[in-house]
């Protein structure tokens, strides 16, 4: 009888140990699966954020080229180009100036609502085709290939540039004839 009890106790202990191992294995399996899912979601979010950042950087390069383009000021050129809009004369809004650094002068806020009243647009949309058009080096396409681990086959990108505020930068008044322009060392 004692021998049977010992065998039964040993069997119960073995079953309990196997149950603990099985439950621990299930826990680690579910945990690993959940972490894998979360990692895939995080990578997808990081890829989307990186693409948005790359698109914004590319849009800034396109905007910079457009602002400095002399074609916008040639006769017959459309007046709704960004380089023309940024140079459009706007009235100063009365009130406090934005005194970020008063020893350099004042930043007077300008009324950008005039643009809409004058029928000029203050939003400029750039599509994927416009952003990639002048990208001779293929930097944006290369970035998508790199960030997408070469799995991304089709992607789209739209960047909107909006003029929300504008400032007239005025130097501080100087007693002498000479105004020292602040520089960066």
pLDDT tens-place values along the chain, 185 residues long = 566 777 788 889 999 999 999 999 999 888 888 888 888 887 778 888 888 888 888 888 888 888 888 887 888 888 778 888 888 888 888 766 656 666 666 777 888 888 888 888 888 899 989 888 888 888 888 888 887 767 777 888 899 988 888 887 776 666 666 656 666 54
CA angle 111, 83, 173 (to 5 degrees): 55
pLDDT for position 91: 86
Instruction: Identify the CA nearest to 67 among candidates 39, 87, 91, 49.
Output: 87
Query: Which two three-digit tokens encode residue 139?
Result: 């930097």
pLDDT for position 20: 94
- Could you tell me the pTM of the whole model? 0.62
pLDDT for position 2: 66
The DSSP bridge partners found for residue 170 are 106
Instruction: Identify the CA nearest to 167 among candidates 114, 112, 124, 115.
Output: 112
Query: Which residues have a Cβ under 8 Å from the Cβ of 18 and sit 6 or more positions away?
Result: none
CB 170 within 8 A of CB 108: yes
User: What phi and psi, each to the nearest 5 degrees, are found at residue 84?
Assistant: -75, -45
pLDDT for position 18: 94
CA dihedral 24, 29, 35, 37 (to 10 degrees): -150
Q: Classify residue 25 as exposed, middle or buried by CB count within 10 Å of its CB (0-12, 13-18, 19+).
A: exposed
- What is the DSSP code (8-state) at residue 173? P
């Amino acid at each position: 009888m004692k021998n049977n009890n010992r065998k039964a106790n040993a069997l119960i202990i073995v079953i309990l140990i196997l149950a603990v191992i099985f439950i621990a294995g299930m826990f680690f399996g579910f945990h690993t699966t959940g972490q894998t899912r979360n990692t895939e979601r995080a990578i997808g979010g990081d890829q989307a954020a990186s693409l948005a950042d790359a698109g914004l950087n590319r849009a800034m390069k396109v905007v910079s080229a457009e602002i400095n383009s002399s074609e916008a000021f040639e006769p017959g050129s459309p007046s709704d180009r960004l380089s023309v809009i940024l140079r459009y004369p706007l009235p100063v809004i009365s009130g406090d100036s934005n005194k970020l650094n008063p020893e350099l002068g004042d930043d007077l806020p300008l009324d950008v609502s005039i643009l809409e009243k004058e029928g000029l647009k203050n939003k400029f949309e750039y599509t994927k085709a416009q952003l990639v058009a002048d990208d001779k080096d293929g930097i944006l396409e290369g970035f998508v290939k790199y960030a997408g681990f070469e799995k991304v086959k089709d992607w789209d990108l739209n960047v909107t540039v909006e003029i929300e505020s504008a400032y007239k930068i005025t130097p501080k008044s100087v007693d002498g004839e000479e105004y020292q322009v602040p520089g960066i060392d």
